[in-house]
Amino acid sequence: MDDYTLPFWIYLGVLTVFIGGAMKKILASHLSSAPPLVAWLGATVLVERLWALCLPAVLLALLGLACCLYSATRTGTSPATLPAHSKAVLITGCDSGFGNATAKRLDALGFEVFATVLDLSGDGARELQRTCSPRLTLLQVDITQPQQVQQALLDTKAKLGLKGLWGLVNNAGVCVNFGDAELSLMSNYRGCMEVNFFGTLNITKSFLPLLRQAKGRIVTISSPAGDQPFPCLAAYGASKAALNLFINTLRHELEPWGVRVSTILPSSYKTGQSSNHTYWEQQHKHLLQSLPPALLEDYGEDYLTERPWSCSRATPARPTPTSAPLSLPRRHRPGAAVATAAGALRCQRGPGVGLMYFIHSYCPFSISNRFLQKLFVKKKLLPLALRRQSGFDLNLSLHNNNNNNNNNNNEEKLK
C-alpha cells in the first residue's frame, strides 16, 4: 500500500464518489431491469480497484447485494397514508388531466377538496359534481386573474373557519405552442409565464397564510422541460424553469414554518390541451399570420407546417387525460404526495424520465444534447434558407469539379 501515490488515492476517491452517486441515481430511477445491471457493473469496477488494496471483495459484494435488496423492499412498500379527517386541500386546474384525477382521488380518501376550474359548466366540472362527495367544492378561478384568486381565498376561508388549509396542489399550467425559439411569438412567452409562473406564484402567495396556519404542504406539478433544454419548448421550458427555482427557494424558506414543499416532474402525458388538435391548428394559423415576412421567407411555410407535428409526435402517446395521473407509480401521484406522511421533495416519474435525468447529470453535454434531439425532435425539413444554401453549395461544388475536369483535359491536349 505504500507504493501507491497521491494521484492514485485522488483517482480512487473520485471514482468511488462517482460510482456511488451513479448507483444511487440509477436505483432510484425505476428503469425496470436496467438499474440493477448498470449498478452491478459499476460495483464491479469499484471492487476491481479496491481489490488492489487487498480489501475483502466478498464483503463488498455482500454489501452491494444488501443495498439492492433494501432498495427493492422500499420500492414494494406503500407509504403510510395520513388520516384525512378535517384536512382540506385546494387543487388548481381541475377541468381535466392531473387536477381532475387528483381531486377525485383525494375526495375518495376523505379530504375536503376545493377544486378550481376555468368553467363551472364545463365537462370536467360536471363530472366532478357527479362523481365526488358533497365535501368537494368547485371554485371558478383563472389563476392569472388576481380578483378571482382573492375571491377563491375568501370563499375558502369562509368554509374552513379557523382550521387552515392542509394542502395546495399547484397543477394548473399551459403549453401555448411548439416551435423554434425564434419562431415563437412574444405573446407565447408571456402566455406561458403568465399561467405557469405568475399565476402559480399568485395563488401560492395568497394561500400561504392558511398553509402556515395548518403546517400543511405544497405540491407543484412542474416539468423536466424546466431543467433541461427541450427543443421546440423554449417558452414553456423557460416558464417552468422560473417555477422550479421559485418552488425550490420556497422549500427552504417554509421549513421553519413546518410547511412541506414538493415538486413532481412527470413524463409526457396527454392532457386536455395537448390532445386538442383544433387548438394547435388555430395556433399555427395565428403564427403564419403574425410572423415578419422576412422570417417566414427564411424558414419557409412548409417548415412551419411540418414543425409543430414533428415535435408533438415525439411526445409518446400516454394514457388519456382522466387516467394520466393514475399511470404514475401510486406513491408518486399528486394525490399521494398530499395524502402520505412522507415523500420525496422532487419526484422525477414516468417512462424514461429517470434515464433522461441520469444522462443529463452524468454524461457529457454532447451526449445529453444528442439524446434530447433524437428523442424529442423528428427533423425532416431544414429551414428554407439552409436548403437553398445547401443547393447553392452543391451547384458550386459541381461547377468547380467541371472546371477542374476541363482544365485537366486542356492540359492533356497541350501535351
Catalytic residue among 189, 236, 303, 357: 236
Length of the chain counted residue by residue: 415
Cross-strand partners of 219:
169, 262
**Non-local CB neighbours of 177 within 8 Å, separated by 6+ positions:** 184, 185, 188, 235, 283, 287, 308
| CB distance 262 to 220 below 8 Å | yes
What is the C-alpha to C-alpha distance for residues 44 and 309, in angstroms, rounded to an integer? 44
Q: Tell me how far apart the alpha carbons of residues 132 and 111 are, in angstroms, rounded to a whole number.
A: 11
Strand pairing report for 137-140 and 167-170 = unpaired
Q: In this structure, what C-alpha cell is assigned to residue 265?
A: 416532474
User: Which residue, among 334, 303, 287, has the nearest Cα to 102 in the 3D structure?
Assistant: 334
Contacts for 6 with CB less than 8 Å, ≥ 6 apart: none
| CA distances from residue 55 to 40, 50, 58 in whole angstroms, order as listed | 18, 6, 9
Return the C-alpha cell found at 368: 445529453
Tell me the residue ranges of DSSP E strands in 132-226: 137-140, 167-170, 217-221
- Respond yes or no: is residue 236 known to be catalytic: yes
For residue 209, what are the CA distances in angstroms to 148, 202, 337, 411?
A: 18, 13, 21, 90
Active site residues: 236
